[in-house]
Structure formats: C-alpha cells, structure tokens
Homo-oligomer: A and B are copies of this chain.
Amino acid sequence: MLEDKQPALTPLEKLGEFGLIKHLTKNFPLENPSSVLGVGDDAAVVDFAEEKTVISTDLLAEGVHFNLGYVPLKHLGYKAVIINLSDLAAMNATPTQILVSMALSNRFPVEAVEGIYTGISLACKKYAVDLVGGDTTSSQSGLILSITAIGKAREEDLVRRSGARENDLLVVTGDLGAAYMGLRILEREHALYLTNPKIQPEMEGYDYILERQLKPEARKDIKKKLKDLGVHPTSMIDISDGLSSEILHLSDNSRIGFRLYEEKIPMDELTLLTAEEFCLNPTLAALSGGEDYELLFTIPPKDYDKIKNHPDFTVIGHAVSKSMGNKMIARGCHEEINLTAQGWDAFLRRWPGT
C-alpha cells in the first residue's frame, strides 16, 4: 500500500526537510488567541495570561502502537492527536496547541506524510487546537510520531490523579472495551487478507467498534459538563491502558483502594456481541483492552445526586482505605477479584489474554 508504485508519488528527498515542513504546515492557521508564534521559528510561543500551562506528550511507534497494514494514515494522524488531547482532558484542562514530531523512513512518499497531516488537521479543526511546531526527520526504518499537546487551566479547575478520598464514588464516561474489540476485528480481517489478498474484509455491522479503534475522540466536552453540573472531581485519569490499570494509578497516586462493580461497567451492545463472537469475556476487554480514551474520575459522595441518570456518566465503584486494596466485585457470585495492571504494556508488546 505504501510502496512507490503509483506515478504521482513524490519521494521525500525532493522537498527536503525544510521544504517538507513548509509544505505540510501551510494549511494550519493559528486560531487561538494564546498562540503567539507558531511554526517557522526556533520555538513556539504561547500565552495563557493568568491560566496555567498544561503539557503532555506521547510517542507512537510503528509495529508497536499501530500497524499500517490496517490503519489508514489519515486515521493514524487523527488518533495520535486525540491520544494527547485526552491526557489534557484528564487534567480538566482545555487543549489549545500541539507540536508534531515525526521520523520516517524513505519508504514513505510525500503523499503518505500528507495523509498523516490530513488527519492531524482534522483533529486540530474539530478540537480548536493550533499546530505550532515540531520536527520532521528521517528514520532508519518505520514511522515514529511524537506529539506534545499544550493546554490551559485555572488552578482551581485542575484535577490531578492524587486527590481521591475514602468513600468517593468512582465514575466513568461513555462505554468501555469497544476499541479493543474493534482492534480484534481489524486483526482478524488483516490476517485473512494476508493469507488471500482477494478476500474482501468483513467489516459490515462493526461500525461503532471500528470507529472507536480507528477514530477515537477525546472527552474535551466533559470539563464543561462537569462545570455545568457543579461537580469538581477529586481525581481523574484517562483510559488509555485499560480500566484496571487506570484504577491502580488513581489508587497509587491517591493512596486509597477501590471497589469496582463488574455489573456496573458500561459496555455497548456491539462490544458484548463481538466479545461473544471471539469467545472472550467482555469484562476483560474493558479492564485490559485500553484505548477507550474515556475519563475515569472520583467525586465526593455528596455529589451523587448531581450526576445520577446523566447519560455521559456511570458510577462503577467507590474508594476504600488503602489497606483494603483494589478489587472487582464479580457479577452474580459477588466474588472479590484482585485488580492487577493487565493494561497493555508497550514493553511486553502483547495484549493480555491473547
């Protein structure tokens, strides 16, 4: 798919590093008043006046975080931005700028890089974020995308991982496990394609979970929704590695334990059906699948009435003393199961349970 067979493809050498950067960034206007200086100088300049600067960075490596065999470049660019914006949402900050660094081997023509930037541009527009800098260079092999996202927040709005207290309620946005089941579909169809390139992939009917995997969204909307409800979370994190791993992070940073109720974990109907198709316990997809980019947070018990019945929020557990540890109360039997960090570990390069 990426080989230089089509007549119109342009090798990277033709533009050179500075030419490529100019070419790729010409359609990225600065929209935020806080963007003082963007691409084209030694550094970007941003100005948040009385608000604090919030910064997050994530690096995606080909073959580790994505497989270009079934991830379109446009989606890769979009998702790479989303992953970083999600980190800012998890601080209750408002994203405003990104810097994009990229290393790519010369197997990629200019058009491939343009595809990535098309996705980056779509995400920038949708989330009102400005591209203000970055670095583009070659690599010996493969593609590396390193994005830094910048946002702003007033001190009183910031939510750290460390503020949860005993008896706080554990709340999650949206539904979980869908992105992982979407990945399983993509992997299955890609494996079939490799055995016989003439087979048409069977993607029909899986739209929701495929979109959750290929085109996730960051919960930038939650900051305003919580503010409107008068709720200020005591701690918050985004779900990138899986519910289990994120609960353990909140536990670790806040020095408390958690009780999670399996039957409360919100999951979409299609996630459940697809898990059944793969003979997989859907709870595992939620606990360890990751890439949901939903927000997990804690609120004081007194705020329960403010969020109950809200379509975006589900109470899935509560905080207990640290000595009681982190456990999931299983559906039906009410057995207590220890929560372990089974989230996807980039060093093990494997999905748990597979």
Contacts and interface: CB of A to CB of B under 8 A. Distances in A.
A203 interface: no
Contact of A20 (B12, B42, B160, B347): B347
Interface stretch (A71-79, A136-144, A272-280, A323-331): A136-144
Interface stretch (A145-153, A165-173, A191-199, A255-263): A145-153
A28 interface: no
A20 B346 CA distance: 11
B17 A346 contact: yes
B138 A349 contact: yes
Interface in A84-139: 87-88, 90-91, 93, 97, 99, 101-103, 106, 132-135, 137-139
Interface stretch (A58-66, A179-187, A303-311): A58-66
A201 B264 CA distance: 66
Contact of A57 (B93, B134, B237): B134
Contact of A16 (B36, B97, B345): B345
B41 A45 contact: no
A62 B101 contact: no
A106 to B, nearest CB: 8
A27 interface: no
A238 interface: yes
Interface residues of A, number: 74
Contacts of A58: 101, 135
B37 A160 contact: yes
Nearest to A55: B44
Interface string A39-60: 0111111111000111111110
A349 to B, nearest CB: 6
A349 B151 CA distance: 35
Interface string A11-34: 011011110100000000000000
Contacts of A43: 54-56, 87-88, 90-91, 93, 149, 151
A318 interface: no
A133 B13 contact: no
A161 interface: yes
Contacts of A349: 138
A253 interface: yes
Contacts of A137: 59, 61, 64-65, 346-347
Contacts of A141: 140-142
A1 interface: no
Contact of A148 (B36, B87, B139, B148): B148
B55 A101 contact: no
A158 interface: yes
A137 B106 CA distance: 23
Contact of A161 (B40, B44, B155): B40
Nearest to A103: B61
A222 interface: no
A316 interface: no
A15 B341 CA distance: 13
A97 B55 CA distance: 11
Nearest to A12: B347
Given A42-B91, A141-B142, 8 more contacts: A13-B347, A17-B345, A18-B341, A20-B347, A40-B253, A43-B90, A45-B52, A57-B134
Closest 3 CB pairs of A and B: A43-B56, A146-B146, A42-B90
